[in-house]
Amino acid sequence: MSVDDLTSFSYIVLLLVGSGGAAPHDLLRMHRQGNWIYWTAAESRFYSEPKRLAHLGYLKARREPGHTTDRTIYTLTSRGRKAIAGWLAQPSGFIRIQNEPAARLNGADLAADEQTIVDSLRAIRPHIDEQLAWLDRAEHEARNLPHRERYLQINHRLSRRILAAFSDWLNEVEAELGHPTAARPDSRPHHPPTRPKRDGL
């Protein structure tokens, strides 16, 4: 076996397991609560990939009593730690983005009218609000992870800037193509494309 057995998602799973260990549903919970901002994957893979990594010797599995049934807890093996250390030492790949709202806007000329696209894209506002609420909790809970708190807080600030950029983008779409909704407390004035408002990105 070699590190060729590992995919980018394999390393994400190993990182999420971390030094404390985790069950598959813990990995899925972390993904649902905010990790999706950085990485997208089918939810079923958070169950299948740890099992595969354990078979390859990168994780060790043990059974523990759960609320209703026993659950499998995965922890890093020395092989897993070595693989992670080697991966972290390599130059990072560039950002890969899957942005459905932007793809929808690109095809606006094929819609019945522009207002249809605006109404479609407004559906992401509740998701932005939900993730901002999650970030409030996550920033507080990071204090319980002293070995990762500093790194988590840096990423949480990045998440806020990403969500702010999405909110600004949606404000611009509404201003350019549709009828803006009532002003929101966190909304910012629209700026012409030649003088875009930047928020650290």
Residue 117 lies in a domain: yes
Q: What is the chain's pLDDT, residue by residue, as a tens digit (201 residues)?
A: 455 689 999 999 999 999 889 999 888 887 776 666 777 788 899 999 999 999 999 999 999 887 777 889 999 999 999 999 999 999 998 888 889 999 999 999 999 999 999 999 999 999 999 989 988 988 888 888 888 899 989 999 999 999 999 999 999 999 999 865 544 445 444 444 444 444 443
Kindly tell me the burial class for residue 35, based on how many C-beta atoms sit within 10 Å of its own C-beta (0-12, 13-18, 19 or more): buried
Instruction: Evaluate whether 84 touches 14 at the Cβ level (below 8 Å).
Output: yes
Instruction: Evaluate whether 25 touches 40 at the Cβ level (below 8 Å).
Output: no
Total domains present in the chain: 2
Residue 71 and residue 104 in one domain: no
pTM of the complete model: 0.74
Instruction: Return the structure tokens found at 118.
Output: 């605006």
> What is the domain range of residue 17?
3-88
Q: Tell me, what CATH number does 20's domain have?
A: 1.10.10.10
Q: How many C-beta atoms surround the C-beta of residue 29 within 10 A?
A: 13
DSSP letter (8 states) at residue 184 = P
Residue 197 lies in a domain: no
Alpha-carbon distance 39 to 53, whole Å? Answer: 19
DSSP, residue by residue, 64-118: EE-SSSEEEEEEE-HHHHHHHHHHHTSPPPPP----HHHHHHHTGGGSS-HHHHH
Residue 16 and residue 68 in one domain: yes
Q: Which of 51, 67, 88 is the last residue of a domain?
A: 88
The structure tokens 């922890």 sit at 75
Residue 183 lies in a domain: no
Confidence at residue 179, expressed as pLDDT on a 0 to 100 scale: 66
Residue 111 and residue 74 in one domain: no
Residue 69 and residue 49 in one domain: yes
Residue 80 and residue 36 in one domain: yes
Non-local (6+) Cβ contacts of 144 within 8 A are none
Residue 123 lies in a domain: yes
Non-local (6+) Cβ contacts of 43 within 8 A are 28, 31
